[in-house]
Amino acid sequence: MRCMASSKRVLISLLVACCVFVLSLDAANTQEETSTQQDTKLNMVHLKDTSGLSEDEVRQIAKSIDKKNENKNLAHQSPRWENLSPTPINYDWVQTKSAEWFKGEIIAMYDGKLEFDSDEIGLYTFDFDDVITIKSHHILSVNIENLAAISGIVRLSNGIITVIQGDTKYEFKKEEVISFAQAGELERNFWSGKMSLSLDFRHGNTNQKDYATQANLKRRTASSLLSFEYLGRISSKDGEEIANDHRFNQKYDRYITRYFFWTPVFGEYYTDRYKNIQNQVTLGLGIGYTIVNTKEVEWSLSGGPAVIYTRYATVEAGEQISGYSPALEISTSYEKELSAITDFTFNGKWTLSNKDAGGYKHHMIFMFENELLSWLDLDLSAVWDYVNKPQVNSDGIVPQRSDYQLLIGFGVEF
């Protein structure tokens, strides 16, 4: 028992150390993105505003530029209200192809999606292709493909992104922008997430309780994405526990171009004693590529080598209770917009290792997200877990190779 407790502490410490390392790495990279030094990993120059002007003074310069542009546009036409645009005071403004204006706060643009937070519509995600005008009040860090990360007041008009730093303006085509995020010092500006809860209670001939939770937390900067995902389930029948499994995933991506990225570290912690897995930790690194990125479809593929540590709950006499295994892991993420309120997503992960770690295994999640409110979804998820070589326990029982879950619950975005 002391050995098992000690191993568990070591595993938990390893996982915590991994998360702390990734957070510190991402924080360090975020600070790098606001410096004037060259980032050797991305081969990019980070251009900082050296004019000595305050943010309010830069905003006044941006305001005068806006006024000149509006006067130029109205020079040969009558000043109709639909030709005018709002002044970004305390808020960011975004205009879509439908000519509608939205007031709020730009969180980030990443992978063709613009996250926007408004008091009226809540946290909302626009397709960047649908956005025709941006007037930012906040300072944004803009990542330009194969060139630089530039911080400043941002304007988008007629397909041109303008980053304003004091008296200096940088102009780029909209297609050249990989991503952008707030360059402010408030850490909370980089984070967003979603949590779904599924409950099922049955009473009568059978008393059964099922709880399942899915959670996703992301930290976005102009050139990186740090994500944490959790999936857990606890079930009991007639007062006896029949399921208790938890899966925690971490992934850190650094974008080099619009489509190509590398993953300095990815990891997973998994436990399911009904599959005879006391603790299982995976750590690896890899590369990835965005295969499709359109208004309706997003599809990316990534993978790389990894190491798996597995400790089983019990084993037959003469078998090793724990051990390490080299592995190769491939993952994919696919998202398709089915309608204005319904999205389909598929996340899959395939792992090859030696038989002591399960041999071939996969973890797949199929999800339909149905928007009820801007911050509330009705989620329908199907989960399929498979292990080709499950470990026989001390009683000679072989766990089932496949596990299936069907989850229906409400998801809250924040």
Q: Which residue has the higher pLDDT, 269 or 77?
A: 269
Is 240 within a domain? yes
Q: Which residue has the higher pLDDT, 22 or 361?
A: 361
Given a cut of 50, whether residue 3 has pLDDT beyond it is no
Least confident of 171-185, 206-220, 304-318, 332-346: 171-185
Q: Which residue has the higher pLDDT, 24 or 30?
A: 24
Q: Looking at the structure, do residues 97 and 244 belong to the same domain, yes or no? A: no
Are residues 55 and 139 in contact, defined by beta-carbon separation less than 8 angstroms?
Answer: yes
> Burial letters for 88-117: b for 16+ Cβ neighbours within 10 Å, e otherwise?
beebbbbbeeeeeebbbbbbbbbbbbbbbb
Q: Looking at the structure, do residues 114 and 207 belong to the same domain, yes or no? A: no
- Per residue in 297-350, pLDDT (tens digit) is 989 999 999 999 999 999 998 889 999 999 999 999 999 999 989 999 999 999
pLDDT confidence of residue 62: 85
- 99-105-109-110 Cα dihedral, nearest 10 degrees: -130
Gyration radius (Cα) of the chain, Å = 25
Given a cut of 70, whether residue 1 has pLDDT beyond it is no
pLDDT confidence of residue 256: 82
Is 383 within a domain? yes
Are residues 106 and 140 in contact, defined by beta-carbon separation less than 8 angstroms?
Answer: yes
Q: Looking at the structure, do residues 178 and 196 belong to the same domain, yes or no? A: no
Q: Which residue has the higher pLDDT, 187 or 240?
A: 240
Q: Looking at the structure, do residues 241 and 387 belong to the same domain, yes or no? A: yes
- Per residue in 83-130, pLDDT (tens digit) is 567 888 889 999 999 989 999 999 888 778 898 988 888 888 898 999
Q: What is the percentage of the chain residues whose pLDDT exceeds 90? A: 50
Length of the chain: 414
CATH number for the domain including 348?
2.40.160.40
Last residue of a domain, one of 149, 182, 215: 182
Considering the chain, what is the average pLDDT of its residues? 84
Return all residues near 146 (Cβ < 8 A) that are at least 6 apart: 43, 44, 257
Q: Which residue has the higher pLDDT, 291 or 48?
A: 291
Distance of alpha carbon 141 from alpha carbon 45, whole angstroms: 13
Q: Which two tokens stand for residue 383?
A: 């989960």
pLDDT confidence of residue 261: 93
User: Structural domain tally of the chain?
Assistant: 2
Is 156 within a domain? yes
Given a cut of 60, whether residue 187 has pLDDT beyond it is yes
Q: pTM score, two decimals? A: 0.69
Last residue of a domain, one of 144, 164, 182: 182
Q: Looking at the structure, do residues 91 and 130 belong to the same domain, yes or no? A: yes
> Burial letters for 252-274: b for 16+ Cβ neighbours within 10 Å, e otherwise?
bbbbbebbebbbbbbbbbbbbbe
Q: Looking at the structure, do residues 122 and 66 belong to the same domain, yes or no? A: yes
pLDDT confidence of residue 35: 42
Average pLDDT over residues 76-85: 55
Q: Which two tokens stand for residue 370?
A: 């149905």
Average pLDDT over residues 255-273: 91
Is 199 within a domain? yes
Range of the domain at 339: 2-26+190-413
Q: Which amino acid does the sequence have at 56?
A: D
Output the DSSP codes for 93-158: EEEETTS-EEEEEEEEEETTEEEEEETTTEEEEEEGGGEEEEE-SS-EEEEETTTEEEEEEEEEET
- 62-128-410-330 Cα dihedral, nearest 10 degrees: -120
Q: Grade residue 294 by pLDDT with cuts at 50, 70 and 90.
A: confident
Q: Looking at the structure, do residues 202 and 264 belong to the same domain, yes or no? A: yes
Q: Looking at the structure, do residues 154 and 173 belong to the same domain, yes or no? A: yes
Which residue in the block uniquely carries the two structure tokens 């026989």?
392
How many other C-beta atoms are found inside a 10 Å radius of the C-beta of residue 318? 5
